[in-house]
Homo-oligomer: A and B are copies of this chain.
Amino acid sequence: MIQTPYLLFLGDAPDQLAAKVAQGIRDWRPENAVGQLRLDGCGADVGLADMSLEEGLAAGARTLVIGVANRGGVISAAWKAVLIEALEKGFDLASGLHNLLRNEDDLMSAANIYGGTLHDVRVPSTAFPIANGVKRSGKRCLAVGTDCSAGKMYTGLAMDAEMRERGIKATFRPTGQTGILITGHGVPLDAVVADFMAGAVEALTPDNDPDHWDLIEGQGSLFHVSFSGVTMALIHGGQPDALILSHEPTRTHMRGLPDYGVPSLEALRDMVLPIARIANPAAEIVGISVNTQKLGEDAAMDYLQKTEARMGLPTVDPFRQGAGRLVDALAGI
């Protein structure tokens, strides 16, 4: 658990894209962020009040979250000065950077002296048991993609937001570093040791009220040979009741695999359902989430309508249309 609320460190982000973690926090958990801290030359702005460390503290911030990607995998001297000062003032630090805070001697030393915690969300913070497969109470929904980066996290967050607004009991369960920083909790599944992957997902989605839904963040794809084992563990550890198929219709090959074509939604449907029913015989596919950001409005609407007619399932782009129809589709489960 990362202590909230946060002050978001945007550093010297060259552009808005470099600050996408901060933007995600701002978009999905605005109550988790009191403001943003920007250095000279910062080209990003997530629309929060600019604050110094002192101002952030006065506004109640507990953790300085690095909401920006660093260049070249090095934590620069300019960043270091701010991070050390934050520890001195009593902040915890949280980061999803590849190079870990804990591997920086000066940060470790300051954390030890001032009692701060360094959260490196790319690495698991606890050990997990081997999955036991026992049926858990409560309901679970998982998005599975024809490819990686097809909009699974966005779909889960959008459904979670819609369900909270409707007063439905729901918890988004992050399995990657961006989601973990957004919500302050979760499991970085791609960094868990193989034998414990499914057990980590079981631990992430424990017994709950019968009418509570976990929205589990999807990872990888059953059709992506680099990461399909992670997807498999997510399906069998998560034992979802409801599956959403996620798709990006303009891609010409699997992400990072130029020799691999993207499967059809039919192929994904036919593969995932028998796999999911091993862990949960009641599993159903309830809807389709399409990332149409590379299509114009008319082409997007046309694609969504044709896909819905072809597949016989509610088909939406939650960014264009909201996740309401996907949430509606959970009602029958």
Contacts and interface: CB of A to CB of B under 8 A. Distances in A.
Given A223-B278, A228-B233, 16 more contacts: A133-B257, A191-B194, A192-B193, A192-B194, A193-B194, A198-B226, A199-B226, A222-B278, A225-B239, A228-B232, A228-B236, A229-B229, A231-B232, A260-B278, A263-B278, A271-B274
Contacts of A240: none
Contacts of A270: 274
A230 B195 contact: yes
A2 to B, nearest CB: 22
Interface in A208-256: 222-223, 225-233, 236-237, 239, 254, 256
Contacts of A135: 259
A1 interface: no
A11 B193 CA distance: 31
A271 B197 CA distance: 21
Given A259-B134, A259-B135, A274-B271, A225 B197 contact: no
22 contacts: A133-B225, A133-B226, A133-B260, A134-B259, A191-B194, A191-B195, A193-B193, A193-B194, A194-B197, A194-B230, A195-B226, A198-B225, A198-B227, A199-B226, A222-B278, A223-B278, A225-B279, A229-B231, A229-B233, A231-B232, A232-B232, A260-B278
A99 to B, nearest CB: 15
A37 interface: no
A254 B231 CA distance: 21
B259 A237 contact: no
A278 B222 CA distance: 9
B189 A194 contact: yes
A172 B199 CA distance: 30
Q: A interface, how many residues as a size bin?
A: 35 or more
Contacts of A274: 270-271
A279 B222 CA distance: 11
A275 interface: yes
Nearest to A226: B131
A228 B134 contact: no
Contact of A195 (B227, B254, B263): B227
A275 B222 contact: yes
A204 B189 CA distance: 23
A130 B198 contact: no
A194 B257 contact: no
A190 interface: yes
A231 B225 CA distance: 12
Interface string A313-331: 0000000000000000000
- 4 nearest CB pairs, A to B: A229-B233, A225-B236, A232-B232, A229-B229
Contact of A193 (B191, B222, B227, B256): B191
Contacts of A257: 132-133
A198 B226 CA distance: 6
A261 to B, nearest CB: 10
